[in-house]
A and B are shown apart, each in its own frame.
Chain A
Amino acid sequence: MAAVTGASAGAIALVGCGDDDGDNGNGTPAAGETPGGGGQPKQGGTLNGTVSLVLGKDPHKASTFLTHALASYSYSRLYRFKTVIGELPQPEWYTVEPELATNVEMPDATTYIFTLHDGAKFHNLPPVMGRNVTAEDVLYSFDRYRAISPNRANLDMVQSVEPSADGKQVTFKLNEPFGLFLNRIASYQDLWIMPREFVEESETASEDRMLGSGPFIFEELRPGEVMRWRRNPDYFETDERGNKLPYLDGIDLAIITDQNQVLSQFAAGNLHTISVPPQLIDQVRSENPDAIIDTSPRNILSFVYFEPATYTEDKPPFNDVRVRRAISHAIDRDALLRRVSDEGGFWASMPINAGFGETWYLDPQSDDFGENAQYFEFNPDRARELLAEANATNLTVPMHFSSTTYNTIVPYYPIVKDGLAALFDQAGIGIREVPEEYGQYIATTFAGQFDGMAFGLESVFSDIAAYYTNMFYPGDAGGGRNHSSIDDPELVSRIQDMLRLQDLEELRQANFELQRYLAEQMYYVPVVTPVEFGARVPQVKGLLNTSGPTTYGLGTESVRTAWLDV
């Protein structure tokens, strides 16, 4: 999870987990209907969604997606992720489009010149009073982000940012080519544009309210009750017919921590959209026969990882690749997916999982994966053989996991964890479960201070590069999520080569090669990506599908085009 900071975060139930309503039942737009579907958009209405908790309002200071997702209603980025329609994942998944920028020029492989949208204005509130967004604001935001953001390493490749004299262009100069730079600029974790005079108005201004150039104006936060926005009448974007966006008059996110409450409020008609834990999807379907159920995999990587001494001190048993492969052979990924829901899901590949779509994810069940797909095969007998060959029979190890927070943020986590324990037992691998409160888990196990092995979820990043660098680079070279202190110079060199590629197809193929290589090594053992669910009332239209909500830029990516057919 992207910095799920804090226990009891509750279910993610942010507005916007669905595709459009102009579909034919399977998520594909019906002939003759516009993207977003359902006929001519209507202005007005308040969309009622829910959020489990609010952890601050400043997207630069925040490490948690919860804040970034909320910021997306009020703030904008230079680029954003494209919303795509229909069933997910699909090829356009995780492609980017301009937001505050109108276009980008690249005179060379390390220079990006963004031209800003002429009509982009900050909200018409003191102290900015609706002034234009300028290149100086981009520079200010970048400097501030780089000084205080917990995620600032994401833009380490930026050497300098220079605004043009007329304030209409801003140039980013990189240290070296980085083929996925626009994806990084569009990331929910990073460069939200904030006006200086607002931030510097007082020490707590950016935490007291939100003031950006996004489609909705922050109105109020009543802790434990509701977070509320109203329409930004001066928002700079229009739809294809020239109508001003957004259509909605406002957004109300009810703050609800208890999942039963969320379902109950939805059944009573008090909420328009919710996220649904897989184990409750049948209940939602039966209680709400008219509701539209959306499904998609989220780009949350579930994986088993090993104690760092495995790689730093060559410590048995996991230093032996045969043992790591045995762990993978012990996992019946299809059974785990069935355990979560009848809708199934995908086998995870390392480090890119199905939530990224076929552009970046190489399905271990596909022919394209090649011979290394064998290491994903469920084969407990082979697992026993490998353990015997490695002199690791009667293996009994602790397995650390988070016993709080994940359970509510990612409801399939405890189900998969229980399934794993049973499967390991079948393959003769003894597991001693070590449950850890989330804060403790993040500070110890996730940070690489543990013994035996662990089952976890990776932070959610917006591009594949972040997974490779974070999980496989040395800790002091950008490997902030190298949980097992993996030290493979050849792998690092191959990742570096890949990230310099400018041609996306070449980059894609290099990424596939790395996924094959990592299957062979099983430094981390990828598990599964179950399909996740959202439900919404049929009256919600034009809510284009983002990524489940895993791009976390819902406000500007999806909700700006949503409307209510009432």
Chain B
Amino acid sequence: MRNYIIKRLFLAAPTLIGVSLLLFFMVRLIPGDIVQQIQGDNQVTEQDRSRIERELGLDKPALEQYFRWLGDVVTLDFGNSLRSREDINDRMRTTLPTTIQMSVLAILISLIIAIPIGTLAAIRQDSIADYVSRSVAIAFLAIPTFWLGTMIIVYMSRWFHLATPPPQEYAQVWEDPYANLKFLLFPFGYFMPLGPAVILGVSLSGTVMRLMRAQMLEVLRQDYVRTAWAKGLRERSVVVSHAMKNAMIPVITVIGLQVPIVVGGSVVVESIYNVPGMGQWLFQSIGFRDYTTVQAISLLIAVTVVASNLVVDITYAYLDPRIRVG
């Protein structure tokens, strides 16, 4: 197992280097560079350009800039925003936990919704419960997060004069867990779990629900399950102890693959709910051509995706020994 993990880690390194190269150069190719952004709609004179580029360290050759940035990143120093000059690390200390927390909550919520319903649909195949759950899954997949979030904000305001807490009331989980969870899960009150993490979780749950159902159906037809039934085990024991563990293997893979979807979704959901996380920050930074910030956030996302895939692979290998042997 240890060798397997080391091998996977070695494979992750070139992926991340490739991503860093792409990020560094692609963001600079977008028309309307950072100097133009700083100058606004003023004409950019050569004098302005060279002064600003010098101040921002953009006057050096691109490769030198890249290696310098990479060197700093390795020491976890992401530098300063080119636009606002704020320390990126400082801001990450508040935005990164927010986005991670929201994403983890969303994934947990998606599992809480999807696994029982998917399982129920499988063990009651072609029943009303199955039809309803399949329809719900399709609906969750079809309804865009931005639409659902916007409708909630608009109609909670229109019908009940309710709003999410104002952004200044946002608190980190370690500062005030109560206020934090209220913001992310129950911003309109405890009887209305319509927070950003819930919306994101609901949208994720459709895929997991369908997959869980399909996998359970397959596993329930396996010989060993049939044997378990034949032994006279109770339904709960057969389903939970024998079927679910194996049905979960592909589900875990999908959960890992959903990490980029969660991160992408957080950009939209954070904007709609005004959650001070990384998604909103990234979205704005791209518009400003704030290279250092875009690179930092995107690289973190890439690391998260690579790490989540690694975790999935390791979990998969743990659950199915044939993989690590192979």
**Residues of chain A whose beta carbon lies under 8 Å from any beta carbon of chain B:** 1-9, 48, 53-56, 61, 63-64, 148, 150-151, 153, 204, 207, 222-226, 228, 252, 254-258, 260-261, 263-265, 267-271, 283, 287, 404-405, 437-444, 446-447, 459, 475, 480-481
Asked if A440 and B31 make an inter-chain contact with CB atoms under 8 angstroms apart, the answer reads: yes
Contacts of B298 in A (CB 8 A): none
List 9 interface pairs A-B (beta carbons < 8 Å), by A numbering.
A5-B39, A8-B283, A150-B38, A223-B86, A225-B168, A226-B167, A252-B168, A446-B41, A480-B43
Contacts of B170 in A (CB 8 A): 225
Asked if A439 and B163 make an inter-chain contact with CB atoms under 8 angstroms apart, the answer reads: no
B319 in the interface (beta carbon within 8 A): no
Q: How far is the CB of A132 from chain B (nearest CB, A)?
A: 29
Contacts of A405 in B (CB 8 A): 287
Contacts of B84 in A (CB 8 A): 54-56, 207
- Bound state CA distance, A287 and B289, in angstroms? 38
Contacts of B272 in A (CB 8 A): 258, 260-261
Asked if A63 and B271 make an inter-chain contact with CB atoms under 8 angstroms apart, the answer reads: no
Please, which residue of chain B has its CB at the minimum distance from the CB of A154?
B42
Contacts of A459 in B (CB 8 A): 40-41
Interface size of B by CB at 8 A reads: 52
Please, which residue of chain A has its CB at the minimum distance from the CB of B275?
A224
Rank and list the top 10 A-B pairs by shortest CB-CB distance, nearest first. Answer: A3-B40, A7-B287, A63-B40, A224-B276, A439-B32, A443-B32, A268-B163, A226-B168, A264-B157, A6-B288
Q: How far is the CB of A59 from chain B (nearest CB, A)?
A: 13
Q: Which of B33, B43, B275 has the most CB of A within 10 A?
A: B43
Asked if B163 and A267 make an inter-chain contact with CB atoms under 8 angstroms apart, the answer reads: yes
- Bound state CA distance, A226 and B85, in angstroms? 18
B156 in the interface (beta carbon within 8 A): yes
B286 in the interface (beta carbon within 8 A): yes
- Bound state CA distance, A376 and B294, in angstroms? 46
* Contact status of A1 and B32, CB under 8 A, knowing A264-B156, A267-B157, A270-B166: no
In the complex, which of the residues A225, A256, A267, A439 contacts B30, with contact meaning CB atoms closer than 8 Å? A439
Contacts of B42 in A (CB 8 A): 3, 63, 150-151, 153, 480
Please, which residue of chain A has its CB at the minimum distance from the CB of B35?
A443
B273 in the interface (beta carbon within 8 A): yes
Asked if A4 and B40 make an inter-chain contact with CB atoms under 8 angstroms apart, the answer reads: yes
Query: Chain A binding site: helix, strand, loop or mixed by DSSP?
Result: loop
- Bound state CA distance, A446 and B37, in angstroms? 13
Contacts of A5 in B (CB 8 A): 37-41, 288
- Bound state CA distance, A64 and B39, in angstroms? 8
B135 in the interface (beta carbon within 8 A): no
Contacts of B80 in A (CB 8 A): 204
B229 in the interface (beta carbon within 8 A): no
Contacts of A258 in B (CB 8 A): 153, 271-272, 274
B164 in the interface (beta carbon within 8 A): yes
Contacts of A263 in B (CB 8 A): 154, 157
Contacts of B165 in A (CB 8 A): 270
Q: Which of B30, B33, B161, B163 has the most CB of A within 10 A?
A: B163
B284 in the interface (beta carbon within 8 A): yes
Asked if B83 and A255 make an inter-chain contact with CB atoms under 8 angstroms apart, the answer reads: no
Contacts of A475 in B (CB 8 A): 43
Asked if A447 and B43 make an inter-chain contact with CB atoms under 8 angstroms apart, the answer reads: yes
B158 in the interface (beta carbon within 8 A): yes
Contacts of A64 in B (CB 8 A): 40
Contacts of B150 in A (CB 8 A): 260
Q: How far is the CB of B235 from chain A (nearest CB, A)?
A: 47
In the complex, which of the residues B39, B43, B95 contacts A224, with contact meaning CB atoms closer than 8 Å? B95
- Bound state CA distance, A313 and B91, in angstroms? 50
- Bound state CA distance, A437 and B36, in angstroms? 14
Q: How far is the CB of B213 from chain A (nearest CB, A)?
A: 35
Contacts of A48 in B (CB 8 A): 166
B195 in the interface (beta carbon within 8 A): no
Asked if A4 and B271 make an inter-chain contact with CB atoms under 8 angstroms apart, the answer reads: no
Asked if B164 and A207 make an inter-chain contact with CB atoms under 8 angstroms apart, the answer reads: no
Would you list which residues of chain B between 37 and 67 have a CB under 8 Å from chain A? 37-43, 48, 51
B281 in the interface (beta carbon within 8 A): yes
Contacts of B33 in A (CB 8 A): 443
Contacts of A404 in B (CB 8 A): 287
Asked if A223 and B281 make an inter-chain contact with CB atoms under 8 angstroms apart, the answer reads: yes
